[in-house]
Structure 1
């Protein structure tokens, strides 16, 4: 075997080794990120708001094109500004498969209840703005949405999994919590009760 062919084999072998190291590094990073997110969702401290509890107040900045039109300041709003309305608060992420499954149902429900003093509000958890906006565009979402900057809103609600949906009554109390994808009929029943009794 000539020196040049041996040299090519050594270079190819070294390149394979480098590629393996790079791929291992990428997978280690992705796994670490997933574990960190899961740990953050599981290990929130505090008391999770349940039905009957006051909803924790928060401020949300909206994505361009997804503002709440009735807000005093269209770019941001506090939950207390929504008192007097029923709020459906949905935590989601573009990388969450069940969030994709429920997206169209949420939009249909928003269209059905928006004229009955019900506001849907989407909170994007640990997502990039381009990915979040792509998700909203893909499912033709029209209700207000914004990012959960530094997971402050998720931490206040002690969200345990994605998606997760909270319904807040006109007085600012949590009346319904749906961990995981929404059950359309259950959510409709809750909204029907709230819109006819209050």
Structure 2
């Protein structure tokens, strides 16, 4: 019976606790989260287009707000100005009238085509925006952001000018400051 009393108590036979310190767990979690963020960022960037100045622009098409088809390849041999905008974008408002003024200067010459693409916007808000600023050149929604992904649009407004050979010739990130700035960009591309 003394053998039973002399046997080890449960406290003496338990294995020591092997818990990791909390800071190690937190650090491992943060490292994993950072790694996953990098992987996701890399994948999203690789899935987007990568048109650079001088590159051939792939054909893109859309249906304008007035129901007409627009396809960039139907304007081969012309300079095409592509403007990404949104009704909720305050900087877009800064250039809206200037873009329309520039369009009015070029529309009857036949060598420059303007097209606007509403970026992540609703049709009612887009139509109200076009009416508010008196915009008459072709505009339509960028459905599922297909065209903006092709151009790797990061925000709005962004404007791209495609030359007569179908290559990207000019990129403007942010709003134009004047009609003169727009016409200068177009004249440079027309002179090439």
Q: TM-score, normalised by structure 2?
A: 0.71
Looking at structure 1, the residues matched to 49 and 140 of structure 2 have their Cα atoms a distance apart, in angstroms, of 24
Residue by residue over 1:53-84, the C-alpha shift from the partner in whole angstroms, topping out at 9 and shown as x without a partner, is 111221111101xx6xxxxxxx2122111111
Looking at structure 2, the residues matched to 88 and 132 of structure 1 have their Cα atoms a distance apart, in angstroms, of 19
Q: Does 1:180 align with 2:182?
A: no
The answer (yes or no) to whether the contact 2:49–2:149 under 8 Å persists in 1 is no
Looking at structure 2, the residues matched to 85 and 115 of structure 1 have their Cα atoms a distance apart, in angstroms, of 13
Q: Identify the residue that residue 49 of structure 1 maps to in structure 2.
A: 51
| Aligned with 1:155 (options 130, 149, 154) | 149
Structure 1 runs (4+) deviating above 4 angstroms are: none
| Aligned with 2:81 (options 88, 102, 123) | 88
**Alignment coverage as a number of residue pairs:** 148
Looking at structure 2, the residues matched to 84 and 173 of structure 1 have their Cα atoms a distance apart, in angstroms, of 11
| Aligned with 1:145 (options 131, 139, 146) | 139
Extract unaligned runs of 5+ from structure 2: 1-39
The answer (yes or no) to whether the contact 2:53–2:167 under 8 Å persists in 1 is yes
Superposition deviation, residue 47 in structure 1: 4.4
Looking at structure 2, the residues matched to 47 and 63 of structure 1 have their Cα atoms a distance apart, in angstroms, of 25
Looking at structure 2, the residues matched to 145 and 187 of structure 1 have their Cα atoms a distance apart, in angstroms, of 18
Q: Identify the residue that residue 15 of structure 1 maps to in structure 2.
A: none
| Aligned with 2:105 (options 99, 108, 112) | 112
Superposition deviation, residue 186 in structure 1: 3.5
Higher Cα Rg, which structure = 2
The answer (yes or no) to whether the contact 1:50–1:174 under 8 Å persists in 2 is yes
Looking at structure 2, the residues matched to 47 and 159 of structure 1 have their Cα atoms a distance apart, in angstroms, of 9
The answer (yes or no) to whether the contact 1:61–1:76 under 8 Å persists in 2 is yes
| Aligned with 2:188 (options 176, 190, 193) | 193
Question: Per the alignment, do residues 57 and 139 of structure 1 end up closer, same or farther by CA in structure 2, a change over 3 Å counting?
Answer: same
The answer (yes or no) to whether the contact 1:50–1:176 under 8 Å persists in 2 is no
Question: Per the alignment, do residues 172 and 183 of structure 1 end up closer, same or farther by CA in structure 2, a change over 3 Å counting?
Answer: farther
Q: Identify the residue that residue 14 of structure 1 maps to in structure 2.
A: none
Looking at structure 2, the residues matched to 119 and 183 of structure 1 have their Cα atoms a distance apart, in angstroms, of 20
Looking at structure 1, the residues matched to 71 and 49 of structure 2 have their Cα atoms a distance apart, in angstroms, of 20
The correspondence of residues 12-23 of structure 1 with structure 2, limited to 5 A, is: none
Looking at structure 2, the residues matched to 56 and 88 of structure 1 have their Cα atoms a distance apart, in angstroms, of 15
The answer (yes or no) to whether the contact 1:44–1:155 under 8 Å persists in 2 is no
The answer (yes or no) to whether the contact 2:91–2:174 under 8 Å persists in 1 is yes
